[in-house]
Amino acid sequence: MMGYPPRTLLYGAWLVVAFLLFSVLGANAAEPKRVLLLHSFGRDFAPFSEMTKSFQAALVKRSPELVDFYEASIFTARFQEPENEGSLVKYLQDLFSGRRLDLIVAQGGPAAAFVEKYRQQLFFDTPMVIAGVDARLTADAANTPNATYIGVKLDLPAFVENILRVRPETTDIAVIIGNSPNEQYWARELHREFQPFADRVEFEWLDELSLDEMLRRVARLPPQSAVLYFMLAVDGAGAVHPLDAAFTRIREVATVPVFGYGDYHLGQGSVGGPADQTQAIGQQTADVALRILAGERAGEIKTPLFGLGTPAYDWRELQRWGISETSLPPSSEVRFRSPSAWGLYRWYIVGTISLIVLQTLLIVSFLVQRARRRAAEIGIRAKEGELRVSYDQVRQLAGRLIYAQEEERTRIARELHDDVGQRVASLSIGLSSLKRRVPNPDDTARNELSGLQQQVVGLAKDLRDLSHELHPGALEHVGLLEALRGRCAEINGESGTRVDVEVADGWSEVADDIELCLYRVAQEALRNITKHAHARTVRIWLARRNGQVMMRITDDGRGFQENGSDGQHGIGLLSMRERVRMLEGSFEVESSSRGTVATVVIPTGERH
């Protein structure tokens, strides 16, 4: 059988020892701290229950180790003659026999008295914290071994001083306190320490009454009264009242202000003032408990006494009873204020105001833009009016120019026909007569005279044509149709362009100004066609229908660009357009590479 080397065996042994060591340490570390809570009266009786709640919450939150709480209540504290305390002692001895406790916390006077009485029999070596007990009741606590004391020093007259300060008209104070031995002790203390106020206010002590009798008495208190609620665990009839329910019922029937003893009453209907600091006592108890659980000896821990806390008031109760905040102590605190509209709806208000401001800016911007637009529109309309006036003036001027042009053309044509034409004719006749006087037909002079005569004849023809161009006499004598046909015949004879005139059925003569307009438009169009379009055929179509005269001139020429120098903005087109406009007609031109179509429509003022 093969063995293991010595080094390997040593290493294995170390591993086993380390495993066992860490297992023991882990088991010890996982074991929770055991804390026994001893309650006065029971776990739900104020003010001790409020201290316990604060203590447990703080200890669990701040302890680095688990905490296992055990609880026991000193129920015998409710009775006038404590009985069966021996049974409670035996119960605790049996419960924790064989179980180690790490700490005992006694809350309140009755619990403190119990552990002081039975310390030798119960948990003699277990550290102890005695909490929430007034210094008047802890004369023997300093001698309790392995214990520390977190006490209070209640300034009892401060409760009455607070009532008279905030409500100086008070003449009666009803004092609510129970009838258990502990409460009777405090009733005697209150009687003694309230004596200095006897000449100013009358005290009504309700400790011997049942809760129902207390409620009836409180409900009938005169208006200048106040209620001082100290504590009520057991009433005069022996009934027990946990959870501080009695305070709620007293508050519901009271027609005068109610002042509570502890800080836990604030917010439950108490007006407020200096109060027992149950929350702070619970926190302090947790601090001391953590130190003891960490190994510090309880008897070596000393803490200062707690007094009444800074005066705190319920804003709602101040408002209800008409108590001015100016009557409160300077260092006091006012809680539970009803938030103002600004506090409740601040962001809504800010958002609404922002939205309104934004809308206002948008509206102002819109109005400014609208005003500017209106000003611009007014300026534009004014400019349009000025342009319209200018345009009308230009059109009137154009009409006058056309009219003057026609007048001048007529005058020049008449001069050419009646004067210059006659002179040229006389010159031609004179040359013919002079030529006949030359005897020799072959004479050079005769030939020159013949040439001059032919030039004169040509000049006479040109003058006649020019006269007809300037003022077509045929238009006056034979009408529009024949004048157009004559002009077309001339073009057909002079150029390679064929021009035809077509007349729709129902044609009749029109007014002279319309005839002149149509003739001038056709004359100008034919001049442009023969000069620029190089068209083979031209068609002039005339019709009269529905109170309108229509003329359409169509050619198959090469057309023109409307924006070119010879386009519709040329002098000729402008002249034609203006002539038609003067008669309230329309003139349209469509031109392409396949030809041009010019359409004239002039109203005659007649309906057929």
* Per-residue pLDDT tens over the stretch 325-373: 999 999 999 999 988 777 778 888 888 899 999 999 999 998 999 999 9
Indicate the helix (H) or strand (E) that contains 336.
Answer: none
Residue count (the chain): 608
User: What is the per-residue DSSP string for 512-563?
Assistant: HHHHHHHHHHHHHHHHHIIIII--SEEEEEEEEETTEEEEEEEE-S----TT
Q: How confident is the model at residue 83 (pLDDT cuts 50, 70, 90)?
A: low
Q: Note the pLDDT of residue 508.
A: 83
**Residue 474 within any structural domain of the chain:** no
Instruction: Output the six-digit token pair for 94.
Output: 């049996």
Candidate from 17-21, 46-50, 409-413, 436-440 with smallest mean pLDDT: 17-21
Q: Note the pLDDT of residue 27.
A: 45
Residue whose C-alpha is closest to residue 556's, from 498, 486, 493: 498
**Residue 465 within any structural domain of the chain:** no
In the block, tokens 């001790």 appear at 48
Instruction: Output the six-digit token pair for 595.
Output: 């030809």
Candidate from 138-147, 467-476, 581-590 with smallest mean pLDDT: 467-476
Question: Which residues pair with residue 226 across a beta bridge?
Answer: 173
Same domain, 202 and 81: no
Q: How confident is the model at residue 564 (pLDDT cuts 50, 70, 90)?
A: low
Same domain, 196 and 323: yes
Candidate from 59-63, 237-241, 559-563, 565-569 with smallest mean pLDDT: 565-569
Share of the chain above pLDDT 70, in %: 80
Task: For residue 297, count CB atoms less than 10 angstroms from its CB and return exposed for 0-12, middle for 13-18, buried for 19 or more.
Answer: exposed
* Per-residue pLDDT tens over the stretch 237-247: 999 999 889 99
Candidate from 103-117, 445-459, 586-600 with smallest mean pLDDT: 445-459
Same domain, 194 and 212: yes
Contact 235, 184 (CB under 8 A): no
User: First-to-last CA distance in the chain?
Assistant: 144
Q: Note the pLDDT of residue 216.
A: 97
Instruction: Output the six-digit token pair for 124.
Output: 């003699």
Same domain, 286 and 179: no
Q: What is the mean pLDDT of the chain?
A: 84
Same domain, 523 and 552: yes
Residue 507 CB partners (closer than 8 Å, separation 6+): 481, 542, 543, 544
Same domain, 37 and 131: yes
When pLDDT is averaged across residues 397-418 and rounded to a whole number, the result is 63
CATH number at residue 534: 3.30.565.10
Same domain, 250 and 321: yes
**Residue 401 within any structural domain of the chain:** no
Q: How confident is the model at residue 26 (pLDDT cuts 50, 70, 90)?
A: very low
Instruction: Output the six-digit token pair for 34.
Output: 């055991």
Same domain, 178 and 321: yes
Write out the residue range of the structural domain in which residue 81 sits.
32-154+276-307
Q: How confident is the model at residue 3 (pLDDT cuts 50, 70, 90)?
A: very low
**Residue 520 within any structural domain of the chain:** yes
CATH number at residue 42: 3.40.50.2300
Same domain, 97 and 168: no
Same domain, 185 and 297: no
Phi-psi region of 272 (alpha: psi -120 to 50; beta: other; left: phi over 0): left
165: amino acid identity, one letter: R
513: amino acid identity, one letter: D
**Residue 374 within any structural domain of the chain:** no
Contact 487, 523 (CB under 8 A): yes
In this model, does residue 13 exceed pLDDT 60? no
Same domain, 93 and 111: yes
**Residue 378 within any structural domain of the chain:** no
**Residue 597 within any structural domain of the chain:** yes
Same domain, 201 and 134: no
* Per-residue pLDDT tens over the stretch 459-518: 766 666 665 566 566 666 678 888 888 888 888 877 778 889 898 888 888 888 888 888
- The whole-angstrom separation of Cα 552 and Cα 540 is 6
Contact 227, 259 (CB under 8 A): yes
The count of structural domains within the chain is: 3
- The whole-angstrom separation of Cα 31 and Cα 504 is 126
Alpha helices in 169-327 (DSSP H): 181-193, 211-219, 245-253, 278-293, 315-320
Q: How confident is the model at residue 9 (pLDDT cuts 50, 70, 90)?
A: very low
412: amino acid identity, one letter: I
**Residue 118 within any structural domain of the chain:** yes
Boundary of a domain, candidates 335, 350, 372 = 335
